[in-house]
Amino acid sequence: MNEKRRCECSLIFLFIPCVFLVGCIEELELERLDTNDFDDVLVVEAVLTNEMKKQRVLLSRATNRLDIITDTIYDPATPINYNKGVGVDTEENASVMILDELGNKFDFEEVVSGTYMSLQPFQAELGKNYHLEITTKDGEQYISNEMSIAGISQITDLYAERIINDLGEEGMSIYINSEEVQGDSQFYRYTYEESYKIIAPNWAPMDFKLSNYEPCALPVPTYDLEIIPREEEERVCYNTVDSNTIIQNSTVELSENKVLRFPIRFINRNDYILTYRYSILAKQFVQSAPAYSYYNRLEKFSQTGSLFSQIQPGLLNGNIVNKNDLGDNVLGYFEVASVTERRLFFNYEDFFPNEPLPPYVFNCDNLLSAPESHVSFCFSGLSMNSCPQSVIERVNMDLISYVSDNDIGLGACPGPHIFTPNICGDCTTLGSNVVPEFWIEE
Amino acid sequence: MKELKLFCLKINHVIHNFYKHFFLFLLFALCFNFSLAQSDSTRITLVVENESLKNVIDSLETKTNATFFYLEEWFGDELISIAFENETLPVVLEELLSKTELNFYILDGDKVILTKNNIIYDELPNNFFIKRDSSSILTTAGTDQRQLRPIFYSDRLVANDNRVQKIQVGKASKEVKTSLAKISGVAINASNGLPIPDLVVQIKNQNIRTTTDETGYYELELPYGINRMNTRALGIEDATFELYVYNSGTVDLALNEGLEQLDEVVLEADAFRNVEEATTGSAQIDSEESKNIPLVLGERDILQVARNLPGISSAGEGAAGFNVRGGKTDQNLILLDDATIYNPSHFFGIFQALNPYTTKGVDIYKGNVPAKFGGRLSSVFDIQSKEGNTEKFSGEASIGPVTSNIALEVPMKKEESSLLLGGRGTYSDWILKSLDEPDLANSSANFYDVIAKYDHKISDKHSISAMGYYSKDAFSITSDSLYKYSNRLFSLKWKHAYSEKNRGDLILSNSNYQFNIDYDGEANTDFLLGYKVNETELKYNLRYLYNSKHTFDYGIASKLYVVEPGSIEPSGSDSSIEARAVDQEKGLESAIYISDAYKVNDKLLIDAGFRLSLFTALGASTQNIYQEGEPRNDGSRTGSEEYGEYEFIKTYIGPEARFSTRYLFTPTFSIKGSVNSGYQYIHTLSNNTTVSPIDTWKLSDLNIKPQQGYQYALGLYKNSEDNMYEYSLEGYYKQFKNAIDFKTGAQLLLNENIETEVLQGDGKAYGVELLLRKNTGKLNGWLGYTYSRSFLKFDSEYADERINNGEYFSSNYDKPHDLSLVTNYKFTKRYSVSANFVYQTGRPVTYPIGTYRFNNADYVYYSNRNEFRIPDYYRLDLGLNIEGNHKIKKFAHSFWTISVYNVLGRNNPYSVFFVTENGEVKAYQSSIFSIPVPSITYNFKF
């Protein structure tokens, strides 16, 4: 067990300057859960909405790896996406269907491993009950409770404000207002997709092109390195990210089912995603009481609580069971919810006029240079080379972008080119060069 | 100090006892100032002829301005002729008294006390042995066997020991002593003059002991010089005398009935108590004596000390609540001067909410609970406050790194009534605000507590005391929520003696615990949430000393609970929160009890008690009715029933047994056994692994049954080397029925159908506790080791009402091995060092068995509860205690404590937990005090 110390001052110790007293919360670097009871139970994620579309059901299996998707920290010395997505153990070749209370059956087909889409578009209707049935490839049959839409509520406003939050951070807070339209909407869950424009700060119109690279050739590696115009858009990109937190709200204690100024997202002003133009698509799901409770408990179990008093976690029962074996746990939930969505765009300059832009996600101030080639990998003698990794090695791993020729003798071991880490010169490392369909410039 | 003499004053009989014993104290207290007084050099010239001694003394009083204290009847009829010129008072007196049996003693130069050595004791006033500050509250009928057990025996020197009776035997002479002196005398009951048979009279540190015969007569042979003599007998207050044996002589003893005892006597008797008392599993902690134990942040904390005793633990460092012998934290009855205190801690469990200077000590019953207590299954913590000083204004204060404390004792009417005031607060908020750290800008952590107690001795037979207490905490963990909680207590007690054999205490108490959450977020959902529990109890404890074999304790009690289970209201004008309150709950818990301490013979003591408790859930209320045999949920609810104001909803009857017995193999070696059962009608609702201040208390009702507990205990107790060492080995087995737990993640606050979330199941706990204790000497302290297990079981036909498949699982506080070493070494009177060492098995935590991806994020999933343990806990603390010097004229007596908590810097895990952050699962380990924590505290008395 590796231990990475990250000691933090917790409130209690603030009685006294932290030098004296430190309550410590440290991260345990676990690769796998240290447990003998691991069971690769079925995980179901299904939200049937009132949108007329091909509905989706995700099936996977639990694992005992701690990081299902690996760290999101960018390391300029490691190729992007290297080792990424050890991935979800998807559940393939299952038979999936949703049935309504009238006996109508909506069949699903597997389109990508573990992702099942309905054959036909359909929508959940208010006042109707639906349930989900799954038969896995090993013949186990699973069935959900009957679920229905609790109510319909309309987002009446989605707006952003520049605020200073309770922690003293300045940034943009995005709020939702909504009103009940039909049924009884007391419980809400929010998700969002946020999209933002990225401009690579060290982008240049030309780039390296490496071919015929033989790093093991003797006496020296052989290669062809060309400087050619970029073949595709690599300066301006767009990235779209789905929310990954459980954001819930309830109007149970309110006199009316009206959501006012509910904050769904706060972005620090120094977050690079705000730099140019930012867009958020907020979705409001009206949940049933049991679904709300399920998500709420899932959220509670995944939070710290207070240092002294933590919530007792335990088995979280969803609404899906194995037809023939009630002892077989099933994770996840089949939710039937109404959804409404609304999109908002804004520019950094709208809220922070004439103020410096947020720093780029990576420090791109230093331009680099290095010898173009290196000692052959197959050279068996002693190499006294103390220069940084050569250009051709880095180009080969797709780590760098061309900036210019090195006419100024930059670097400790000046080479013929000046370059920059890919993240600074090629925006496709962070996003897509395709303008999203919904994107509207002012 | 050979002049140090015992004296007894003829005090006007009209003056009541309190006055007397206080005055005696005062004189004793001044004894060690004696040599200073002796240096007075007023010269006297005096010529008398054929005057009575009385007249001579009168004229001496006039000449010297000294006041003489004596009994006229000591003076014979002889007439005296004598002459002095320019002599000092001691010389004059020496000569004057040379032919009498009288000795003298000069105090402060102007008080002369005459003593007649061997008949002094005839005049011992009632309650002579009551120590000056003994709290009248302690004198409840039924507590007589219970004495304060200090943590450390303070090794006081004889010279400034002001509470042990000192007796001079025989008149001093310069003859060489060759053999043993013989003393003899008669012991009588001071209140009725009857002889005391079977009184054990023994000389400490010598193998000399005897017992009185039918007429109360005894004889002893003992060495010349200073001897410490103890007397003990059933129904008679234990006493210790210091005999200054100059010659053979007579020592008659007038002893009090077993009412109250001196501190010092307690220490002696205490050791015996361990062996002799029938009660199993009891312990005492004295607040003052606990001051040498190093604790975190230099805070004196008897509740923390209690956790070092075998069988008492908490979920972790800084966690609130006690787990006593495998019981849940809500199963402890914590009383402050007879009023229930629901939350005796500040800031979770880091600090006790008791002022250490107004607190006298705590009696803890973890085994057999006396019949007069009831309502909680696992233990009773009976905390007593001091009685204020009735003579002189005095106080005590401390300045520590986190809190400051002050206590004042204000005499109201001299020697009759006094007021005790205590206040305590933290400056943490001020520290927080002065830190230049934006993260903390909105943090808050603040607490204080205040106490006032009034004691009034109306007469020998009546006294009253009244106590009021308030404590308050406010803290915020997240910046949008401010949590506040407070305890408010009040108690009024009337003690009276109907006759020599009948005594009673009538007690009225009220306790209120409440918390609020003030939520101030950004949306239209700002609210104020409140919870409150209030109880009012009237109880009448009586004691009847039937004869030397039987003592009956009996009484009646009734308690009304009023719970406001939750209310919410909008906060601020733009909040859309609708005000709502969950229906009030009311309940009446009543009990009658009787117990008999029956001394079958010298070896066998049986204490058999019975308590009948009754609980009635009262309206107004709406109670949900559920389908029989179905899991309780919204679906199985068939309806509800309305009950009118104070209408009986449901009555539970709980017969409870309190039986314990002791058999003495030898006077210092005994075996005890007990069987104990109880009912509990109020329960905490908590979803957390450890106690939280926002846990709510819920009364039993139509759907929630009372918890039941049974405990069987057996132990061996041995003292050796004149009680210097104490050994005990005690085992227990406990069972619970209807213990309460919850469906995980249940919403408990503001839930009107809470019974749908409640699980009731069984529990069992067993353990062996070993305690080795050294009470006296330079090195003292104790070593405790406990092996114990604690399990719970929640079984049902329905999956969501089961935990761990309906099998027994370890409770959150199941820590099999628990070792505590508490030591103090006294170098000199002023310097001592202390060390604590604690080792405990890591507590169980619920550990995930897998991870999965859901809603774009990774989550862990849990299955069985508490199948993983965090690493073991160990900690060493060191402390250095420096007493200021003891000069009596000095304004304040000071005491410094320098301590280092967790000297080894052991990073003891408090918990291991998993969170989902930014879509990824992270495993964390938290610890509370992971580095050595030094502190320095300054205490002073004035």
The answer to whether position B437 is within a domain reads no
Domain boundaries, chain A: 202-232+365-429
Of B636, B762, B622, B639, the closest CA to residue B705 belongs to: B762
Of B665, B766, B785, the closest CA to residue B712 belongs to: B766
Alpha carbons within 13 angstroms on the beta-carbon side of residue A80 total 15
Cβ contacts of B882 within 8 Å, gap of 6 or more: B830, B831, B895, B896, B897, B898
> With contacts defined as CB-CB under 8 Å, which chain B residues touch A16?
297, 401-402, 431
DSSP β-ladder status, A147-148 and B236-245:
unpaired
A69–chain B Cβ distance below 8 A for any pair: yes
Residue B654 confidence (pLDDT) above 90? yes
* Interface with chain B: mutation pick from A35, A58, A178, A315, highest number of B CBs within 10 Å: A315
* Interface with chain B: mutation pick from A18, A309, A316, A317, highest number of B CBs within 10 Å: A309
The residue of chain B with its CA nearest to that of A36 is B849
The amino acid at A184: D
Write out pLDDT tens, residues A355-410: 999 999 888 888 888 888 888 888 887 777 778 888 999 999 888 999 999 888 88
Residue A74 confidence (pLDDT) above 80? no
The CA-atom distances, in angstroms, between B823 and each of A363, B315, B717, B773, B899 are 58, 24, 21, 10, 14
The amino acid at A38: F
pLDDT of residue A307: 62
B350-371 burial, b at 16+ Cβ within 10 Å, e below that, comes to bbbbbbbbbbbbbbbbbbbbbb
Contact status, residue A25 vs residue B915, Cβ threshold 8 Å:
no
**Residue B449 buriedness (CB in 10 A; 0-12 / 13-18 / 19+):** buried
Contact status, residue B251 vs residue B173, Cβ threshold 8 Å:
no
Residue B442 confidence (pLDDT) above 80? no
Residue B12 confidence (pLDDT) above 70? no
Output the domain CATH number for residue B376: 2.40.170
Residue B356 confidence (pLDDT) above 80? yes
The answer to whether position B77 is within a domain reads no
pLDDT of residue B148: 32
Cβ contacts of B114 within 8 Å, gap of 6 or more: B7, B57, B68, B69, B70, B74, B97, B102, B103, B104, B105
The CA-atom distances, in angstroms, between B157 and each of B161, B298, B829, B833 are 6, 27, 9, 19
The residue of chain A with its CA nearest to that of B865 is A314
Residue A3 confidence (pLDDT) above 70? no
Residue B266 confidence (pLDDT) above 80? no
A8–chain B Cβ distance below 8 A for any pair: no
The residue of chain B with its CA nearest to that of A40 is B850
Residue B654 to residue B379: CA distance in whole angstroms: 17
The answer to whether position B152 is within a domain reads no
ipTM for the complex shown: 0.87
Nearest CA-CA distance, residue A51 and chain B, Å:
18
With an 8 Å Cβ cutoff, are B862 and A309 in contact? no
> B788 is written with which tokens?
């114990």
With an 8 Å Cβ cutoff, are A60 and B926 in contact? no
Strand order across the B67-69 sheet: B67-69, B111-116, B102-107
Cβ contacts of B295 within 8 Å, gap of 6 or more: B301, B304, B305, B877, B899, B901
The answer to whether position B54 is within a domain reads no
| Domain limits for position B291 | 282-397+458-463+477-941
Number of domains in chain B: 1
pLDDT of residue B131: 37
Residue A173 to residue A190: CA distance in whole angstroms: 15
DSSP β-ladder status, B394-399 and B933-941:
antiparallel
The residue of chain B with its CA nearest to that of A321 is B799
* Other Cβ atoms closer than 10 A to A255: 13
Nearest beta carbon to residue A302 from set B320, B859, B929: B859
Band (pLDDT 50/70/90 cuts) for residue B153 is very low
* Other Cβ atoms closer than 10 A to A67: 17
3-state helix, strand, coil in chain B (%, to 5): 10, 50, 35
Residues 820-859 of chain B whose Cβ lies under 8 A from any Cβ of chain A = 846-859
The answer to whether position B351 is within a domain reads yes
What's the pTM value of the predicted model, to 2 decimals? 0.74
The lowest-confidence range among A70-74, A159-163, A347-351, B547-551 is A70-74
DSSP β-ladder status, B225-233 and A222-229:
unpaired
> With contacts defined as CB-CB under 8 Å, which chain A residues touch B432?
14-15
pLDDT of residue B573: 81
Mean pLDDT score of chain B, rounded to an integer?
79
pLDDT of residue A78: 62
pLDDT of residue A311: 82
Contact status, residue B331 vs residue B680, Cβ threshold 8 Å:
yes
Residues 508-547 of chain B whose Cβ lies under 8 A from any Cβ of chain A = 521-525, 527
Three-class DSSP category at B284: strand
A368–chain B Cβ distance below 8 A for any pair: no
pLDDT of residue A81: 52
* Interface with chain B: mutation pick from A162, A250, A253, highest number of B CBs within 10 Å: A253
pLDDT of residue B941: 82
DSSP β-ladder status, B67-69 and B111-116:
parallel
> With contacts defined as CB-CB under 8 Å, which chain A residues touch B750?
253
Contact status, residue B422 vs residue B406, Cβ threshold 8 Å:
yes
Nearest beta carbon to residue B863 from set A21, A37, A332: A37
* A348 or B298: which leads in pLDDT: A348
Write out pLDDT tens, residues B817-848: 999 998 989 888 788 898 989 999 998 988 88
The lowest-confidence range among A194-203, B380-389, B629-638, B854-863 is B629-638
> With contacts defined as CB-CB under 8 Å, which chain B residues touch A21?
929, 931, 933
What are the start-end ranges of the E strands in B806-919? Answer: 809-810, 817-826, 831-840, 844-845, 848-854, 857-862, 868-869, 873-883, 893-901, 909-917
